[in-house]
Each structure stands twice: as C-alpha cells, then as structure tokens.
Amino acid sequence: MKRTEGKDAGMYHDHVRRDRLTNKAWFLGVLALVLTAAGIAGGIGQTGLAALVAPVAAALPGGEALTTVWVALGLALILTLNVHLIGRLGRRLQVAAVWLEVFSLFLVFFHSFDLSYGFILGKLPFLVTQGVATTLYISAIAIAIAFVLAMVGAIARLSDNGFAIAISSFYTSFFRGVPLLIQIYLIYLGIPQLGYVIGAIPAGVAALSLCYGAYMTEIFRAGIMSIPKGQWEAARALGFGPMHTLVLIVLPQSLRLIIPPTGNQFIAMLKDSSLVSVIGVWELMFLARTQGRDEFRHLEMLITAAALYWLISIVLERLQARLESRLARDNRH
C-alpha cells in the first residue's frame, strides 16, 4: 500500500494501489480529443497563437485553410502531455507544478495588456502604506465588533426569552437579507437624518460589523449547539448558574469550532471592505480607482489592488491554517 505524503495528506487518502488516471491511454486520448474540439469550436485559429504557428501550419496538409485545426490539435497534444507528466509526480510536486503553471498563465495574460510597470512601482508604496493599512485597520475593528455581536446574537437565539429571540432573529434576517452596499448607504446617509453626522470610516466599520455579525451569529449558534446538552444539564446539577455554565463549560469548547470559520469570515470581510470606497474611505480599492485616473492607468491600479488583496488573503489563510492545527492538537490532548 502507498504511504501518505506528509502530515497534510488528504483526509480520505486512498490506500488502495491502482494506476493513476493520467497514465491511462484512453483517458489521455479522450482529453486530447475534447481539448481539440474545444479549440476548434472556440476559434483558436483566429487568436494570436495562429500568427505564431502560421509558418508551420502552411507546411502541413491543408495549409492555412486548416490553421484552426492544427493550432487546436497542437495545443491539445501539448496540454495532454503536460497533464501526463504532472500526473507522474508526487502529490506535493503536482500541486506546486499546477500552481506555477496557472500563475505563469496569469502573468502572460496580464503582460498582454501592455502595462506600465514603472507607473505601478511608483504608486505601490502609497497603496501599501495608505490603502492596505486602512483596509486592515477597518477590517480588524469590524471583525472584533462582529465577534461580540455574533456572540450576543447566538446566546439570544438560544435563550428562552421571547424578546431576545425576536430581536436577534430580526437582526440576522435583516442584515443577512439586505446587500452590504445598501447597508453602507443606509448608515452613512440615513443616520445624519436623525441629527447625528457620522464619518465615513465609522459608517463603513458599522456596516461591516452589523452585516458580518449577522452571518457569524449562525456560526456561533451552531458551535454552541454542537456541545452535548448533557454537559449543560450536568453543570446545572452541580450548582453552576446559567451564565457560569455558558462561560466556563460551553463556550470554551464551542470556540474550537467557531474560530476557524470566523477566520473565513475575516478574509471575506477584508475583500468586502472595498465597498466602503463608495463613501470616500481611503482604503485600497478607493486608491486603486483614483490613483490611475489622471493618467488613464486604471488597469494598472486595479491589477495591483487585486494582487495586494490576494497576497493579504494568502497570509491570512496560512495564519488560519496554523490556528486550526493548533486547535486540533489542543482538542486531541
């Protein structure tokens, strides 16, 4: 039987020894045919690739009349060979190879836009020091407030108090059902109608907190309900009050299930924070839209912002993975 490759092997790793699908001739043949048909149907011969292989295509049977066929067939064979070769690697090397190839395709795709890299490098420090810093600042405060709102909302939903259940259920229903962009406008434009002028950053933080607090309420409720009811009843039988039972017995165990999906919510909030740019907050998206305006370099700034969002998300994903591993080890002990 095969051994798993490293500690992060798949949860349901198959130990039955069998030939890989990428080594089977019938699969490679079908893959080549499908890719060829897709290339012909997509008119790949009319793209820039046709110009690159025009001299070769002219020397093949059918000449330029069959350029699309030859280009599609050539690419299909190259891609099929690529799949076969990567399929012969180990799992980790497969992941690394596919990541590298897809990332290279992204770079080639963006390079075709004729970007001004000097303009990007000139604006990058300001995007990082102002845009990224503001984005992280807003998201960190909002997720902390959302965490508290979710905890209170989940406890209210699980209580026996009708008023608490009604308020909590209305809160989650409204803020989960209304688009976040509308919530931002309602808070930023609506609160001043009550006589209180709210700044752009507090309005953005409030909207993000209320929206994600509503979503996280259901996460917290599910985490609390995952704890067996018998533990609550045993604590109450030993003389613990309801609040002590919740704080000392239930919540410490449920947080192990709550924290990982909360990390996902923070990553999602980080990207949704771009919506607060509509009310003038100088976060990453706002600067990406405005910095390229004078020289009509919108695409450079948007691609740079996308790369920065992605980089931040990767860092947060790694931190979340380490936190989940730590919680899993603590749970086993």
- DSSP structure string for 7-49: TT--TT---S----GGG-HHHHHHHHHHHHHHHHHTTGGGSHH
Whether residues 75 and 136 fall in one domain: no
Residue 160: burial class (beta carbons within 10 Å; 0-12, 13-18, 19+): exposed
- Of 42, 66, 87, which residue sits at a domain end? 87
What integer is the mean pLDDT of 52-64? Answer: 63
Whether residues 280 and 235 fall in one domain: yes
Owning domain of residue 37: 21-87
Whether residues 122 and 248 fall in one domain: yes
Q: How confident is residue 5, by pLDDT bands cut at 50, 70 and 90?
A: very low
Q: Is residue 14 part of a domain?
A: no
Residue 65: burial class (beta carbons within 10 Å; 0-12, 13-18, 19+): exposed
Whether residues 63 and 175 fall in one domain: no
Residues 95-124 have pLDDT tens digits of: 999 999 899 888 888 877 888 888 888 889
The CA distances from residue 308 to 220, 242, 245, 265, 275, in Å, are: 30, 46, 44, 18, 16
16, pLDDT greater than 80: no
The pLDDT of residue 200: 92
- Of 68, 87, 106, which residue sits at a domain end? 87
Whether residues 29 and 127 fall in one domain: no
Q: Is residue 2 part of a domain?
A: no
Sign of the dihedral defined by the CA atoms of residues 286, 287, 291, 292, in that order: negative
Whether residues 67 and 131 fall in one domain: no
Q: How confident is residue 168, by pLDDT bands cut at 50, 70 and 90?
A: very high
Residue 274 sits in a domain whose CATH number is 1.10.3720.10
Whether residues 184 and 36 fall in one domain: no
Measured N-to-C along each axis, helices 298-332 and 251-272 cross at an angle, to the nearest 10 degrees, of: 170
Q: Is residue 72 part of a domain?
A: yes
Q: Is residue 169 part of a domain?
A: yes
The pLDDT of residue 2: 43
Q: How confident is residue 195, by pLDDT bands cut at 50, 70 and 90?
A: confident
Q: How confident is residue 269, by pLDDT bands cut at 50, 70 and 90?
A: very high
Residue 221: burial class (beta carbons within 10 Å; 0-12, 13-18, 19+): buried
Whether residues 81 and 208 fall in one domain: no
Better-predicted residue by pLDDT, 24 or 169: 169
137, pLDDT greater than 90: yes
Q: Is residue 196 part of a domain?
A: yes
Whether residues 71 and 213 fall in one domain: no
Number of domains in the chain: 2
Cβ-proximal residues to 36 (8 Å cutoff; 6+ apart), any chain: 69, 72, 73, 76
Whether residues 141 and 261 fall in one domain: yes
Whether residues 282 and 242 fall in one domain: yes
Whether residues 200 and 131 fall in one domain: yes
